[in-house]
């Protein structure tokens, strides 16, 4: 009988992401065959009974959604401060699966965000070595120069870490307001990566919108709206 790590089984059952499942285990909220398990790496099989907060887990049908995340919403399944989350948006519309976001967008950042209960796919897409392209449109303070664009393209130094080569493109300039719009495609996922890249060349981000995740765009969606991914789209994500 094949056994798998407990946190993987929990993720595939839609409890939470694999990383968040590890935190749930460490908090003593998980029982295997009636015994509380806190250590990581425990392996379980199909004959083992797993409970989270006293509730038996069952593998859910995998579901995949693309959300146009609005400004002022938390990219999380829960928020300790009671703020509205991206999961709240889908649940309010009748989605009952225990989904969670793949990665995060900042509280004030809008745009494309994937949500699923497929822990295996989520884990792969978030892993740095898969280098999933993400395209952002940023409104910047000041008017960026060609030399600064070249610096961004070649990579900037952030806290001892040099960003990988990127593909910035100047979209618009407002000389009266002294602002500009730049489109940038990256595949890294460091904390506040896009904001810190532009700050490194002296142009704070005033507004940030993720226009595209991999090949998925927001055509037909407005902020707060979402749609289910098509089977072909899910298959293509797996191929990434």
Neighbours of 14 (CB within 10 A): 21
Active site residue 53: no
Catalytic position from the list 48, 79, 106, 118: 106
What's the rounded Cα separation, in Å, for the pair 39 and 41? Answer: 7
Is 38 in contact with 28 (CB distance < 8 Å)? yes
Closest to 3 (Cα-Cα) out of 37, 40, 44: 44
- For residue 160, give Cα distances in angstroms to 116, 137, 230, 240: 33, 25, 41, 29
**Contact residues for 234 (Cβ-Cβ < 8 A; gap 6+):** 64, 121
Instruction: Count Cβ neighbours within 10 Å for each residue of 197-210 and write b for 16 or more, e otherwise.
Output: bbbbbebebbebbb
Q: Which residues are catalytic?
A: 106
């Amino acid at each position: 009988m094949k056994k798998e790590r407990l946190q993987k089984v929990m993720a595939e059952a839609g409890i939470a992401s694999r990383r968040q499942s590890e935190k749930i285990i460490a908090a003593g909220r998980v029982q295997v065959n009636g015994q509380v398990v806190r250590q990581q790496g425990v392996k379980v099989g199909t004959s083992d009974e797993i409970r989270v907060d006293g509730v038996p887990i069952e593998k859910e049908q995998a579901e995949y959604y693309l959300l146009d995340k609005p400004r002022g919403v938390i990219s999380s399944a829960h928020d300790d401060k009671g703020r509205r989350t991206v999961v709240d948006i889908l649940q309010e519309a009748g989605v009952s699966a225990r989904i969670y976001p793949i990665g995060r967008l900042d509280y004030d950042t809008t745009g494309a965000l994937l949500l699923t209960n497929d822990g295996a796919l989520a884990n792969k897409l978030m892993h740095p070595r898969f280098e999933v392209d993400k395209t952002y449109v940023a409104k910047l303070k000041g008017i960026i120069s060609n030399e600064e664009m070249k610096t961004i393209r070649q990579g900037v130094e952030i806290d001892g870490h040099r960003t990988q080569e990127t593909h910035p493109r100047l979209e618009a300039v407002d000389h009266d307001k002294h602002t500009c719009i730049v489109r940038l495609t990256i595949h890294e996922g460091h904390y506040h990566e896009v904001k810190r890249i532009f700050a490194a060349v002296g142009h704070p981000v005033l507004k940030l919108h993720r226009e595209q995740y991999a090949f998925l765009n927001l055509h037909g969606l407005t902020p707060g709206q979402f749609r289910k991914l098509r089977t072909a789209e899910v298959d293509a994500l797996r191929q990434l």
